[in-house]
A and B are shown apart, each in its own frame.
Chain A
Amino acid sequence: MKKLTSMIFLVGFFYALLLPSEAIRAAEEPFTFGLLLVGPYNDHGWSQAHFEAAKAVEKELGVRFLYIDKVNPADRPGVTVPQLVDELVSRGAKLIVANSDDMKDGIREAARQHLKVYFVHISGDDALTGKGPENLSNLMGRMEYGKMIAGFVAAMTSRTGKIGYLGPLINDETRRLAVSSYLGARYAWEKVRKKNPKDLVFQVSWIGFWFNIPGVTADPTQVTQNFFNSGFDVVISGIDTTEALTVAAQKRKQGQEVWAIPYDYRNACNEAPEACLGTPYFNWKPGYMHFIKAAQSGQWKREWLWLGPDWTDINDPDTSSVGFLPGPAMSPEVRAAMDDFIKQMASGSLNLFTGPLYYQDGSVFLRKGEQATDEQIWYMKQLLQGMIGPSSAK
């Protein structure tokens, strides 16, 4: 009994030591926001793009940010999103960004538990559908354009006319992006290179998640190898990490003339520049700035933001939410054609989401001359006719 009493005293004593320092710190500290990253902060892909944006915002606005990476049940068994939000809030975070589609349910639950904290769920639609509370907004970049450029560059470069798309899991977002890549590729193949549409093969292989989870997903390294081993010479990556590019570089060392187009992160090409045609990437800084300023000034309102490129310069770090950085392996001719392609999209004279377009099952997506609405693009129901690969799980 005596032991127990002294134990309780000891715990109480330490607790008392901690309390005042917390209180003092809270008064002095700048605005703090938290970041939940689904992958490692240095994944050269999706999560690193978020991490770098947070660093840029920290510097520019004089705010502070905390982050926890590898937030997924495979890397952190038993750890949940609401639990981590509790942790970040206890450390003073007033706004929390959750960077994965996978956190949709968790962040909704957490937002309901912390109504005085603001939340931004990346890539979700809770603010659009009204399923989330008022303090939960959504942010996404219009990556369709980046992917169209990627598809365009792939089809301009390909010798075999066989383009592989390394897809993550299947949902509205990933179908939308695979479709965009296809539209870019088809345009390059038919309208610029004037080739027979039948000779273009565009195949999508899905691994089942945003990145490799051994034993759970298909292995992206193996999927990419399969592409290259069966005559595909360009692989466009749709996953969070850089396996496609790594494998392409290995194949080049073995004498195969193949290329890859990584995804998400501005400097993704650095992994293997010799095989890299370029990177469609997200620049989260403008979106982050918008929401942090709104939270700081008390002007917050629930928003569903789908931010596009700045067409005057799609690689402007302050204004363009999506961009495309050409890679060292891109030829000057392709580069020139790409610049022209971007110019046409910028001027509005070219809209690839224009009918006639058909879904994979043959039903009509867009009638002749009809242009897709945002909602039709966002909720992409199927892949398009002409693409190979499943539109949903069998």
Chain B
Amino acid sequence: MDRVRTILTVVAISTLTTCGALLIVGTNPVDVFSAFFKGTFSSWRHFAHVINVWIPLVICSCGLLFTFSLGLWNIGVEGQIMLGAVGTAWVMRHLADMTNPTVTLGIAFLMACLLGAIWATLSGILKIKSNVHEIFSGLGLNFVAQALVLWLIFGPWKRPGVASMSGTRPFPAAVWFPVPEGWRFSPIALVAALLVMGITAWIFISTRWGLLIRAVGNNSRAAEVHGISINGNFLLAMAVAGFLAGMTGYYQAVFVYHRLIPAISSNYGYLSLLVVMLAQYRWTPVPFIALLFAMLHVGSIQLPLTLNLDSSLGGVIQGILVLTTLGVVHFRRNS
């Protein structure tokens, strides 16, 4: 009952705030909401594009559930996505000619997850060994990852005769992930995202480890007294988050862009942090919030087309949602 009241309060306040903001810039809120609705539900194809954003958001958010449960701020998730994409692109460049497409795609997938996990573990090690807060190491590693991507695109992986920040050459068409004729996303990827979601839920509901990391997150001192290795769990949770972030990078490189570009992460790492925060670090709301964010993301393209509004308004609405939620939750906790 309490939860329902929280949700209703958040919805009411954020809707009012959004409407207020829209009225201030002189736009009818009804037009804006109907534009979002039209841009996401008016046809199967529109909705397919929503799913295309939902898949990476859900995968990445699931990883963050583990780190957040332990009380870890895995800001480095952006860099982990980039490393996943780098791993994918490396395999595509060097192995695509040697094996058949399915094998290449499979190896690229493993490589992406592995690199993402390693990158995340670096943050974890810095925390355990050198007591560097994961926010700082994560931010630092994000910069390094971005620099690595830029260097690869402008240097060793440049298109022949070209020097451009636009991106690498597209992967050979044979190793684009197969998408059914007329579809805009791969059903296999959707199933994979649902699996990730399912496994995450299962870990939290019925495994010892799920219980354990939440125990550590709630009270690390007590957990230590009971002989639970905090450091080991930190590393494991970071590795899992990095693994899934790497998977997100794989998705971006293989499904969305078919190549490596400087903005390969599409900021989905940061967006996923917001998803999980809005979900109050619980797994149940994640798919729904990710859906809402994906709708805002895809629907926002309608704003310049129909209302002559800047599409960054979608981001404003997301921000309002997150801030209201945090505010309301904080207020209720303290009252």
Pair B165/A209 contact, Cβ less than 8 Å: yes
Please give the distance in Å from B90's CB to the nearest CB on chain A. 19
CA distance A83 to B183 in the complex (A): 12
Which residues of the other chain, A, contact B154 by a CB distance below 8 angstroms? 208, 393
Instruction: Let me know if B164 and A209 touch, CB within 8 A.
Output: yes
| B13 on interface, CB distance cutoff 8 Å | no
Q: With A381-B161, A392-B161 in contact, do A91 and B150 touch (Cβ < 8 Å)? A: no
* Structural contact, B49 and A66, CB atoms closer than 8 A: no
Contacting A208 at CB < 8 Å: which of B163, B170, B258, B264? B163
Contacts of A217 in B (CB 8 A): 165
Q: B328 at interface (Cβ–Cβ under 8 A)? A: no
State in angstroms the CA–CA spacing of A14 and B258 once bound together.
35
B156-184 near A? 1/0 per residue, CB < 8 Å: 00100111111100100000000000001
Contact between chains at A213 and B165 (CB < 8 Å): yes
Instruction: Write out the residue numbers on chain A whose beta carbons fall within 8 Å of the beta carbon of B266.
Output: 73, 77-78
- Residue B119 CB within 8 A of the other chain: no
Q: Which residues of B contact A74 (CB under 8 A)?
A: 262-263
Specify which chain B residues have a CB less than 8 angstroms from the CB of A208 in the assembled complex: 154, 163-165
Report which of A87, A91, A105, A392 forms a contact with B162, defined as CB distance below 8 A: A392
- Cβ-defined contact, B301 with A68, below 8 A: yes
Number of residues in B with C-beta < 8 Å to the partner?
43
Stretch binding the partner chain, chosen from B34-42, B186-194, B212-220, B223-231: B34-42
Specify the chain B residue showing the minimal Cβ separation from A380.
B161
- Contact A392-B163, Cβ < 8 Å, known A15-B42, A78-B268, A91-B305: yes
Chain B, residues 276-316, CB within 8 Å of chain A (1/0): the string is 00000000000000000000011001001100000100000
Chain A residues closer than 8 Å to B52, beta-carbon distance: 83
Q: How far is the CA of A348 from the CA of B293 in the complex (A)?
A: 60
User: Once bound together, how far apart are the Cα atoms of A78 and B261, in whole Å?
Assistant: 11
Q: A73-B261, A83-B49, A86-B184 are in contact. Are A390 and B163 (CB under 8 A)?
A: yes
A77 CA / B263 CA spacing, docked (Å): 7
List 10 contacting pairs A-B, 8 Å CB cutoff, sorted by A.
A74-B263, A80-B257, A86-B45, A86-B46, A91-B305, A102-B166, A171-B163, A206-B163, A216-B262, A393-B155
Q: Which 9 A-B pairs have the closest CB atoms?
A: A393-B163, A169-B164, A78-B266, A170-B163, A77-B266, A73-B263, A209-B165, A208-B165, A171-B162
